[in-house]
Amino acid sequence: MILSKSSHLPNPAPLDVPASPPARRQRRKLPRNASLLVGIVLTTIFLAVALVSFFYLPSNPNIPVIRNRLLPAGTAGHWLGTDVLGRDIVAQLMVGARTSILVGAGGATLSLILGLIAGLAAASSGKIADEAISRGADILLSIPGMVTALVLAATMGSGALTTILALTAFFTPSFTRVVRSAAIGVLNEDFITAARLYGRGKIFVLIRHVLPNIAGVMIVQFTLYFAAGILTEAGLSYLGVGVHRPSISWGLMLNEAQQQVGISSPLAIWPGLAIVLMVLGLNLLGDGLRDVLDPKLARRAS
């Protein structure tokens, strides 16, 4: 994703839509939950790596050992080699996983909370409030995400917190839209009307009835934004407005690797590969979840 907010566009069909339309010839089909399985596996691997990094690292990822600089992959003790200051690549990748998860999840969570509040408010309040919130979301979406991130970094100093805030600024408007349309769908159901007639307050209805019914959509969106957040954080760190040493991020590793492009190419490969695998895992997880939880809900949200 080109630092894009494509996630705010209507969600495309999940990747393994099962049953073919009746008029078509029969063809071999893939297992329904292939993407879900792969997604779970990949995501778990990365979560595990990040967790392990708190207890064990092959060597210190921040202390330079100049005599070990630029060792190739396969060297004893440094399976993927070392960087320009002799720091172990595997250790840096592991610590980088922490940052990606922290920032990606942080941004997605904060957007989820804010998006829920705004979206539910828009769906259940009067027309004016709805217009105001929706238009507000549209305005926020029109300011290029990059600019918001840059200016935030300039204002508050770059770092993990600023990146999380920038991600929140990107995703909350789209989350709001998704929540709003899902909630509107649920609010039109008969059982809601019944509950209101029965005398239940608006907030009660929202929490007790709407929330559980849109939970599936929320979870799916969360994983997709988590993935987008990781990509975005990597991009920002690559540009130099994300996290800084001693924090490590895969994007920062790529930034440092670019200096060495003419000298040691593998440095540029590993962090990028890590990003691809983690984001892929999360995207597959999201798609698989969407498929499993309720294909109809997915349609409603688009």
Number of residues in contact with another protein, rule: CB under 8 A? 85
- Tokens coding 247: 């924090």
| Cα–Cα separations (whole angstroms), residue 235 to 44, 54, 128, 144, 194 | 23, 25, 38, 15, 49
Number of H helices, E strands in the chain: 11, 0
Stretch that binds another protein, among 98-106, 110-118, 205-213, 273-281 (CB under 8 A): 273-281
Interface residue with another protein, options 51, 154, 194, 203 (CB under 8 A): 154
What distance separates the 2 farthest-apart alpha carbons in the chain?
A: 77
Stretch that binds another protein, among 62-70, 73-81, 171-179, 206-214 (CB under 8 A): 62-70
Nearer to another protein, 186 or 279 (CB): 279
3-state secondary structure of 33: coil
Interface residue with another protein, options 15, 195, 292, 293 (CB under 8 A): 15
Interface residue with another protein, options 114, 133, 152, 186 (CB under 8 A): 152
The binding track of 233-272 with respect to another protein, each residue x by CB under 8 A or -, is -xx--xxxx--xxx----x--x--xxx-xxx-x--xx-xx
6 belongs to the binding site for another protein (CB under 8 A): yes
What is d(CA 156, CA 293) in angstroms, rounded to the nearest whole number? 40
Nearest distance from C-beta of residue 197 to another protein, angstroms: 25
64 belongs to the binding site for another protein (CB under 8 A): yes
Stretch that binds another protein, among 3-11, 47-55, 101-109, 187-195 (CB under 8 A): 3-11
What b/e readout covers 97-129, taking b as 16+ CB neighbours within 10 angstroms? Answer: bbbbbbbbbbbbbbbbebbbebbbbbbbeeeee
- Tokens coding 24: 């078509």
Whether omega for the bond prior to residue 246 falls within 30 degrees of 0, making it cis, is yes
Strand partners, 82: 88
227 belongs to the binding site for another protein (CB under 8 A): yes
Site for another protein in 205-224 (CB under 8 A): none
Q: How many residues does the chain have?
A: 302
Nearer to another protein, 209 or 226 (CB): 226
Site for another protein in 71-130 (CB under 8 A): 84-85
Distance from CA of residue 81 to its chain's centroid?
Answer: 29
